[in-house]
Amino acid sequence: MHFLKDRGFSHAHASEITPQGIYAARRRWMQGLAAGAALQALPALAQSARPGKLAPLPGGRSSVAGAMVMDKPTSYADASSYNNYYEFGTDKSDPERAAHTLKPRPWTVAVEGEVKKPGTFDLDTLLKLAPLEERIYRLRCVEGWAMVIPWVGYSLAELIKRVEPTGNAKYVQFVTLADKAQMPGLSSGVLDWPYVEGLRLDEAMHPLTLLAFGMYGEVLPHQNGAPLRLVVPWKYGFKSGKSIVKIRFVESQPKTSWQSAAAREYGFFSNVNPTVDHPRWSQATERRIGEDGLFAKKRPTLMFNGYETQVGQLYAGMDLKKFY
């Protein structure tokens, strides 16, 4: 158990979260909402809240069902300072402090395995592969906290269609960067590096599965997974690998870093599910980052993180207690 405690996730304390800037951001967002409605200028939401810290990366309005949750977005200050990116350390504040050493350019992504058109794509090619869209998604971490983030990107399916998976492709593995020169956390044995994740092909093809290049109308901050990452909104956050360098199409279910660390705690599917507890804590409720404080209520966790209408069918007939 000690081993699991050392290698697995732990709960965060409310005191770790700074309420700094939340009120200002909320006010800006409300103003943006009013202006957006008046001008009919979409996507006004994120553009109005653009933090002005990094290069702009606007996205057009998404028509994908479920792509725009109406919840108030988390402040940029919180979303970019309270992170899990173990390659830069295991404390929530480590990535913001340490990830300046990450070099997001030049960058390539190798696509290999069971595809008819394998190849290596550079970042600019990927950015132009399909129109960039804005998507406001809930992201729920297995530790029990959640955020609402306006991402910029397009459905991973756009890339998958272009490389033409063969009939043998049943799963997709995502390999993320592991470079000791850029990532101080790699010297710790907390996970097997590189950080690897996987999806079933139909999950990877689902229009909500997002290849994200930006957030809040700008390119991704390093600590959020620059220059590109996955966002799978109905699964626990660890399925959404950051700083992806390789996408591999395979026939059998690939190993993931979190399964290797503690298979009993982190299954392959890892769908957000209030009825399947983590062995060490309940998943029935969650707290929104930015809503902490004396009077903040815990929210009930939603099945598939609230995306059941869109993705429930992918798991029809499956025992979700067994395939956790």
Q: Which residues bind ligand MTE (CB under 6 A)?
A: 83-87, 139, 141, 147, 176, 195, 224-225, 237-238, 240-243
How does DSSP assign 67-126, residue by residue?
A: -B--SPPPPHHHHTTS---GGG-SSTTHHHHHGGG---SS-EEEEEESBSS-EEEEHHHH
Query: In the bound complex, what is the minimum distance in angstroms from residue 290's beta carbon to ligand MTE?
Result: 13
| Cβ-based nearer residue to ligand MTE, 240 or 273 | 240
Of all residues in this chain, which one has the CB nearest to ligand MTE in the complex? 237
Rg of the chain taking only CA atoms, in angstroms: 19
Smallest gap from Cβ 149 to ligand MTE, in A, equals 7
Q: Which is nearer to ligand MTE, 147 or 160 (CB)?
A: 147
How far apart are the C-alpha atoms of 236 and 238, rounded to whole Å?
6
Question: How far apart are the C-alpha atoms of 268 and 14, rounded to whole Å?
Answer: 29
In the complex, the smallest distance separating the C-beta of residue 139 from ligand MTE, rounded to whole angstroms, is 6
In DSSP notation, 181-234 reads TT-GGGGS-SSPSSPEEEEEHHHHHSTT-EEEEEETTEEPPGGGTSS-EEE-TT
Return the structure tokens found at 137: 């998604």
Our CB check for ligand MTE shows the closer of 149 and 169 to be: 149
Residues 14-24 as b/e (b if ≥16 CB within 10 A, e otherwise) read eeebeeebbee
Task: Reduce the DSSP state of residue 149 to 3 states and report it.
Answer: strand
Provide, rounded to whole angstroms, the least separation between the CB of residue 322 and ligand MTE: 23
Answer yes or no: are the C-beta atoms of 25 and 76 closer than 8 Å: yes
Residues constituting the chain = 324
Q: Which is nearer to ligand MTE, 94 or 114 (CB)?
A: 94
User: Cβ 87 to ligand MTE, closest distance in Å?
Assistant: 6
What's the distance, Cα to Cα, between the start and end of the chain in Å? 20
Please state the closest distance from residue 85 (CB atom) to ligand MTE, in A: 5
Closest CB to ligand MTE among residues 80, 165: 80
Gap between the Cα atoms of 4 and 264, Å rounded: 10
Q: Which CB, 67 or 186, lies closer to ligand MTE?
A: 186
Cβ 158 to ligand MTE shortest distance, Å: 21
User: Cβ of residue 256: shortest distance to ligand MTE, in angstroms?
Assistant: 11
Beta carbon nearer to ligand MTE, 84 or 273: 84
For residue 265, the 8-state DSSP code is T
Nearest to 19 by CA among 218, 296, 221, 285: 296
Nearer to ligand MTE, 149 or 311 (CB): 149
